[in-house]
Amino acid sequence: MMDLFEKCRSFQDAKTLMGAGLYPFFKPIEASQGSTVTTHGTKRVMIGSNNYLGLTHHPRVMAAAKRAIDEFGTGCTGSRFLNGNLVSHERLEESLAKFLGKEACLVFSTGFLANQGSLSCLVGRNDAILSDRENHASIIEGTRLAVGETIRFPHNDMDALDRILTEKRAQYDGVLIVADGVFSMSGEIVDLPGLVKIASKHNCKLYIDDAHSLGVLGELGRGTGAHFGLTDEVDLIMGTFSKSFASIGGFIAGDADTIHYIKHKARPFMFSAAMPPSAVATVQECLNVIHEEPQIFDNLWKNARKMKRELSGLGFDTLASQTPIIPVVIGDDVKAFSFTKALYEHGVFATPVVSPAVPAGMALIRTSYMATHTEDDLDYVAEVFKKLGKQFGLIR
């Protein structure tokens, strides 16, 4: 017999990085303001955040969160199914459904739970999920809980997806095609027109995770469907509030009957405490702000295009990014950790992504940009990347 905790004692990956002074995770943030954070007593430009619209410090958003605490307290202390259902939860669902162009919406405590709960309850024993290979971990966990079969198709490869369905579709009662709208590591946008065509051809339902699309793509940041003019063809839209909407929580939106079913069948929804009042109010006010201050989208895309142009122009490989997520390919895992450390020492907060999150030999620095980054911020980041890129032999 083996001690259950032996694997814990033998796990040395993180300790090895710590010993080498290259461990890049769990850096304690002492303060944050706009596009900068203070860590280890030093202010640094944040380019590792998902705060695309920069609304976490918007005065109206912060004021709304504070008012909600005054009205409802700090938490709901129970699930919405029982004692934690606030009128503000229901108002937010109505606002989101209207914003997204869907009949109904259901908000979860986190985006992870929204994927896990929705996927696991929808896909039965005789059903199947077709999941893009680069989908987020929360989708993967949702597919693991679903009792039906899951088939992963090559990333954004419509021909491969079509071949799989041509061969296997008749084996299943229902099929759900699931993909990220924006892939979180590469910044690439899904081929939604291709997915819609294939879903229609093979009588499948379509589920799009708009975690990194909400607040980024489409008119007023309505997401991937709006970006392509295909909102009606997307059966279910999932999203999270921990990116552009400056809070925490998640949602699933679609037709009223499907959302009603998820509301009464998704165990991660039924048995998790409700979103706290301040989080709900934050999201509601973010919706108000983006309607009334649409210039933030101009700022976001101006900054994203500038940094794509700067980093690519220096000679870095930024993959197929089409969004404010701009990866910088480093290659070797250890080199990526070393590069991240050097960025940090030069006042730039970014995060590395290594295998197995990306293929071996494709380690990268995941950079992302906000509407609130200043020209000085971005010029400084570009200059640091130029200096370190030469130092590490990544660019001439």
Which contiguous run of DSSP H or E holds residue 177?
strand 175-180
Q: Which of 243, 263, 308, 373 is catalytic?
A: 243
Q: Which of 212, 227, 263, 308 is catalytic?
A: 212
The Cα–Cα gap between 36 and 89 comes to 31
Phi/psi at 381 (5° precision): -60, -45
Respond yes or no: is residue 212 known to be catalytic: yes
Q: Which of 131, 184, 242, 278 is catalytic?
A: 184
The Cα–Cα gap between 20 and 15 comes to 9
Phi/psi at 78 (5° precision): 175, 170
Backbone conformation region of residue 319, classed left if phi is above 0, alpha if psi is from -120 to 50, else beta: left
Measured on CA atoms in the order 280, 281, 284, 286, is the torsion positive or negative?
A: negative
Structure tokens of 31? 């303060």
Burial 253-282 (b: 16+ CB within 10 A, else e): bbeeebbeebbeebebbbebebbbbbbbbb
- The DSSP secondary-structure symbol of 231 reads G
Residues 6+ apart with CB under 8 A from 33: 57
The Cα–Cα gap between 356 and 344 comes to 23
Which string of DSSP letters, residue by residue, matches 115-138? HHHHHHHH--TT-EEEEETT--HH
**Residues 340, 297: contact at Cβ < 8 Å?**
no
Residues involved in catalysis: 184, 212, 243
